[in-house]
């Protein structure tokens, strides 16, 4: 026998080989050029899944599955062409499960090849697991990103189900949300369904598998749905989905059940602990995401409420101020309307108008700190009285600065007494360094002040007032805004449609 020949002629090297096999657990086969097995060595004989009688003197390719056989053919061909070594990797479905092997083939003599086989299942598993863990990490990161970007609830659930579908390698999944008012579980989003079978789901807590998962706050698994379809009578189309395996995972955030994630498979899957762990993690993320999205929606809602409360408050402040002087009672309303109309003619972005409105309403709020003796004085102010009066824009800034949502409205209260040529107050700004909103507002304010009675003088006519404003273009007022304002007043009048004009002279058409 060739093996005996080999053993006799190479005793030293053979002993060394034996020793090596004891150390490395490798399998070694001696093949002829065509793959016939001439001999073997097994460091660990339990690695031989077939008894030697069954493989000795047969072609290696014939005892392997065809796909592996082809790889061995290729490797032998490579050696035949002169390669010093050729290496292949293959999987064998063994009774103990799939195992990966790595085989290296080297020429031994002209007519023989040695094939070293090593079981690499352990490395392969850890490699696959590492890759899977990296994929899982990437999935969790993108869910985190979706959560922190404040996506709306439906987009968020969509992102999560995409990852559930891809990472857990399942057929279909859906999320049922627990409606806090009705306490019903309702379908909110899904992936992978053939039919709309589950979209009309409405379950009470405790009702059905999903309801039980929520009630007991525990994952529920049914391995063969086909034996138990009564539960899914919630849909007559359910049998069309042909589902086999089912999981219901409660979605719990901050101790509160928000809903259920349902997982469906059309075959019986192998769910190892890794798979179950990741399902649990994804469900946890889903719960956080849903909780966040709901919170965000609530926050936006309560923000709107808060805004409305604030707006009512500032309206109240300005009305209180107006009431101190019966003659200027509707001054604030009129200048606010006029300024907003002017802003529209100036094509100010719609989003800025709310701030301009608030600013106009609050423009003279600083006058709350000015005593009646000065504010309601029937004649001209003394120098020291003027000094106090000129404080009113800065008093407004002081009053309003603590209210964050009024920050974009501050330019009008702060700067409505600045003058285009400078020498206004409180900062003596000039030209375009005066905020645009304040420049627009100044026109409306002076126009309305002059056309109404003041404790210190009678109202002017509209014609006189417009003459005065025209003359002040480039002095008190922005010369680019004056013509827009004058045309607007002449063409459309000086009152909002909702206001009764309080003019001494009717507008000239
Ligand atoms: P206000 O009555 O709301 O007037 C707003 C602005 O309209 C004034 O800012 C001024 O630019 C213009 N304006 C009002 N009335 C006249 C006027 O008769 N002639 C001219 N050329 N412009 C007028 P201003 O001057 O900074 O005044 C701020 C505030 O000081 C006034 O608000 C008013 O409350 C008070 N004030 C101004 N002058 C007098 C006054 O002579 N006597 C009294 N008691 N208060 C005055
Ligand atoms: C402010 O800080 O008071 C607003 C900016 C301005 O009025 O110029
Ligand atoms: C604002 O100050 O509220 C906006 C006005 C502008 O466009 O400057
Ligand atoms: Fe003022
Ligand atoms: Fe005013």
Digit-coded pLDDT (tens) for 74-112: 999 999 999 989 999 999 888 778 888 889 899 988 889
Q: Which runs of consecutive H residues, i.e. helices, occur in 81-152?
A: 121-148
The pLDDT, as a whole number, for residue 15 is 58
Cα separation, 220 vs 216, whole angstroms: 9
Q: Cα separation of 208 and 195, whole Å?
A: 20
Q: Which atom of ligand 1 is nearest to the CA of 446?
A: 7
Could you identify the atom of ligand 2 that is nearest to the CA of residue 415?
7
Rounded to the nearest whole angstrom, what is the distance from the C-alpha of residue 372 to the centroid of ligand 2? 27
Q: Are residues 141 and 268 in the same domain?
A: yes
> For a pocket test of ligand 2, which of 362, 393, 398, 410 has the largest count of ligand atoms closer than 8 A to its C-beta?
410
Q: How far is the centre of ligand 2, averaged over its atoms, from the C-alpha of 411 (Å)?
A: 4
CA–centroid distance, residue 485 to ligand 3 (Å): 17
Which residue do the tokens 């025209």 mark? 470
Same domain? For 78 and 131 the reply is no
Measured from the alpha carbon of residue 409, the closest ligand is 3
Average pLDDT over residues 338-344: 96
The pLDDT, as a whole number, for residue 147 is 72
Ligand nearest, relative to CA of residue 439: 3
pLDDT for residue 233 is more than 60: no
3-state secondary structure 394-456: HHHHHHHCCCHHHHHHCHHHHHCCCCCCCCCCCCCCCHHHCCHHHHHHHHHHHHHHHCCCECC
**Nearest-5° angle of CA 134, CA 137, CA 140?**
155
Whether residues 132 and 50 fall in one domain: no
363 alpha carbon – ligand 2 mean position (Å): 12
Q: Which atom of ligand 2 is nearest to the CA of 429?
A: 8
From 70, 94, 119, the end of a domain falls on: 119
- Look at 47-56, 88-97, 147-156, 455-464 and tell me which has the smallest mean pLDDT: 147-156
Sheet holding 112-119, edge to edge: 37-42, 27-32, 112-119, 97-107, 86-94
CA distances from 486 to 110, 349, 392, 419, 490 (A): 107, 21, 28, 18, 6
Q: What is the pLDDT at residue 234? A: 61
Which of 119, 143, 175 represents a domain boundary (last residue)?
Answer: 119
Q: What is the pLDDT of residues 487-496, one digit of tens each?
A: 999 998 887 4
Residue 507 has pLDDT above 50, yes or no: no
Please list all protein residues whose beta carbon sits less than 5 angstroms from ligand 4, which is an ion.
364
Max Cα distance, the chain (Å): 133
Does residue 353's CB lie within 6 angstroms of at least one atom of ligand 3? no
Closest CA to 352 of 433, 435, 419, 446: 435
Q: What is the spatial distance between Cα 387 and Cα 348, in angstroms, rounded to a whole number?
A: 34
Read off the pLDDT of each residue in 206-229 and give the average, rounded to a whole number: 86
- Tell me, what CATH number does 93's domain have? 3.30.450.20
417 Cβ closer than 6 Å to some ligand 1 atom: yes
**Whether residue 240 is found in the same domain as residue 345:** no
Count of H-run helices and E-run strands, the chain: 19, 11
144 and 240, same domain (yes or no): yes
Does residue 501 form part of some domain? no
Q: Is the CB of 413 under 6 A from ligand 2?
A: no
Contact 273/236 with Cβ under 8 angstroms?
A: no
CA distance 38 to 488: 106
Q: Is residue 392 within 6 Å of ligand 1 at its C-beta?
A: no
3-class SS of residue 480: coil
Q: Could you tell me if the CB of 446 is within 6 A of ligand 1?
A: yes
Are residues 93 and 212 located together in one domain of the fold?
Answer: no
Q: Which pLDDT does position 36 carry in this prediction?
A: 95
Quick one: 445 and 336 in the same domain? yes
Written as one string, the DSSP assignment of 164-184 is HHHHTT-SEEEEEEE-TTT-E
What percent of the chain is predicted at pLDDT more than 90?
41
Is residue 273 domain-shared with residue 218, that is, in the same domain?
yes
Does some domain include residue 114?
Answer: yes
pLDDT for the residue 24: 54
Do 115 and 134 reside in the same domain of the chain? Answer: no
For 268-318, how does the pLDDT look when each residue is reduced to its tens digit (9 = 90+)? 777 788 888 888 888 988 898 888 887 776 666 666 666 776 777 777 777
Cβ–Cβ < 8 Å for 340, 357: yes
3-class SS at 114?
strand
22 found inside a domain: yes
Question: Which residue lies with its CA nearest to atom 5 of ligand 2?
Answer: 411
Ligand closest in space to the Cα of 349: 3
370: in domain? yes
Q: Report the C-alpha gap between 334 and 495 in whole angstroms.
A: 7
For ligand 3, the distance from its centroid to the CA atom of residue 123, given in whole angstroms, is: 65
Distance 364 CA to ligand 5 centre (A): 6
Q: What is the pLDDT at residue 445?
A: 96
CB of 331 closer than 6 angstroms to any ligand 3 atom: no
Ligand approaching nearest to the C-alpha of 389: 1
Separation CA 424–CA 420 (nearest Å):
8
Q: What average pLDDT does the chain have?
A: 83
At residue 429 the predicted structure's pLDDT band, cuts being 50, 70 and 90, is very high
Closest atom of ligand 2 relative to the 413 alpha carbon: 7
The domain total for the chain is 3
The beta strand positions in 280-363, using DSSP E, are none
Q: Which pLDDT belongs to residue 127?
A: 76
The closest ligand to the CA of 365 turns out to be: 4
Tell which one of 344, 352, 410 to mutate to probe ligand 3, the residue whose CB is within 8 A of the most ligand atoms.
Answer: 352
Instruction: State which ligand 3 atom lies nearest to the alpha carbon of 359.
Output: 3
Where does a domain end: 67, 102, 119?
A: 119
Region of poorest pLDDT, from 48-52, 309-313, 464-468: 309-313
For residue 253, the domain's CATH number is 3.30.450.40
Between CA 356 and CA 340 the distance in angstroms is 7
Average pLDDT rounded to a whole number, residues 58-65:
92
Could you report how far apart the first and last alpha carbons of the chain are, in Å?
Answer: 124
Q: How far apart are the C-alpha atoms of 262 and 247, rounded to whole Å? A: 6
Are 111 and 149 found together in one domain? Answer: no
Residue 82 CA to residue 109 CA, distance in Å, equals 12
Q: From ligand 2's centre to the CA of 410, what distance in Å?
A: 5
**Closest Cα to atom 5, ligand 3: which residue?**
437
Does some domain include residue 498?
no
Shared-domain flag, residues 343 and 485? yes
Full domain range(s) for residue 399: 325-492
Ligand 2 atom closest to residue 434's alpha carbon, by position in its atom list: 8
Whether residue 306 lies inside any domain: the answer is: no
3-class SS at 472? Answer: coil
Judgement on whether residues 132 and 113 belong to the same structural domain of the protein: no
Cα 436 to Cα 421: distance, rounded to the nearest angstrom: 14
State the CB neighbour count (10 A cutoff) for residue 93: 9
Q: Could you tell me the distance, in angstroms and rounded to a whole number, from the CA of residue 393 to the centre of ligand 4?
A: 7
């Amino acid at each position: 026998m060739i093996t005996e020949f080999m053993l006799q002629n190479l005793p030293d090297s053979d002993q060394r080989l034996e020793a090596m096999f004891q150390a490395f657990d490798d399998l070694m086969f001696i093949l002829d050029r065509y793959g016939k097995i001439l001999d073997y060595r097994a460091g660990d004989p339990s690695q031989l899944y077939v008894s030697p009688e069954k493989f000795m003197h047969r072609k290696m390719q014939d005892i392997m599955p065809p796909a592996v056989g082809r790889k061995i053919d290729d490797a032998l061909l490579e050696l035949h062409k002169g390669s010093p070594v050729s290496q292949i990797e293959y999987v064998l479905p063994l009774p103990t499960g799939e195992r990966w092997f790595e085989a290296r083939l080297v020429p031994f003599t002209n007519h023989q090849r040695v094939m070293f086989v090593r079981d690499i299942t352990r490395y392969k598993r850890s490699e696959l697991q590492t890759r899977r863990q990296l994929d899982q990490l990437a999935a969790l990161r993108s869910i985190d990103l979706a959560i922190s970007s404040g996506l709306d609830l439906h987009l968020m659930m969509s992102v999560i189900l995409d990852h559930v579908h891809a990472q857990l390698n399942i057929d279909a999944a859906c999320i049922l949300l627990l409606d806090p008012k009705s306490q019903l579980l309702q379908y909110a989003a899904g992936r992978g369904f053939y039919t709309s079978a589950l979209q009309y789901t409405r379950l009470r807590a405790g009702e059905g598998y999903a309801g039980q998962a929520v009630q007991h706050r525990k994952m529920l698994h049914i391995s063969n749905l086909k034996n138990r379809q009564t539960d899914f009578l919630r849909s007559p189309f359910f049998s069309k989905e042909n589902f086999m395996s089912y999981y219901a995972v409660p979605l719990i955030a901050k101790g509160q059940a928000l809903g259920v994630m349902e997982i469906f498979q059309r075959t019986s899957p192998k769910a190892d602990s890794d798979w179950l762990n990741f399902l649990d993690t994804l469900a946890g993320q889903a719960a956080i995401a849903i909780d966040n999205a709901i919170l965000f929606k609530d926050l936006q809602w309560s923000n709107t409420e808060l805004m409305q409360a604030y707006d009512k408050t500032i309206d109240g402040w300005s009305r209180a101020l107006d009431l101190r002087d019966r003659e200027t009672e509707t001054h604030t309303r009129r200048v606010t309307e006029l300024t907003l109309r002017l802003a529209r003619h100036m094509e100010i972005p719609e989003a800025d108008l709310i701030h301009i409105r608030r600013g106009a309403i609050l423009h003279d709020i600083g006058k709350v700190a000015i005593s009646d003796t000065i504010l309601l004085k029937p004649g001209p102010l003394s120098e020291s009285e003027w000094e106090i009066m000129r404080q009113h824009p800065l008093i407004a800034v002081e009053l309003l600065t603590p209210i964050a949502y009024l920050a974009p409205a501050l330019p009008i209260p702060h700067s409505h007494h600045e003058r285009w040529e400078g020498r206004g107050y409180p900062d003596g700004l000039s030209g375009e360094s005066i905020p645009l909103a304040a420049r627009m507002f100044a026109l409306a304010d002076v126009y309305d002040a002059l056309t109404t009675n003041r404790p210190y003088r009678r109202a002017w006519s509209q014609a006189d007032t417009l003459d005065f404003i025209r003359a002040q273009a480039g002095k008190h007022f922005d010369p680019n805004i004056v013509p827009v304002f004058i045309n607007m007043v002449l063409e459309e009048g000086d009152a909002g449609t909702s206001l009764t004009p309080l003019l001494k002279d009717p507008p000239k058409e």
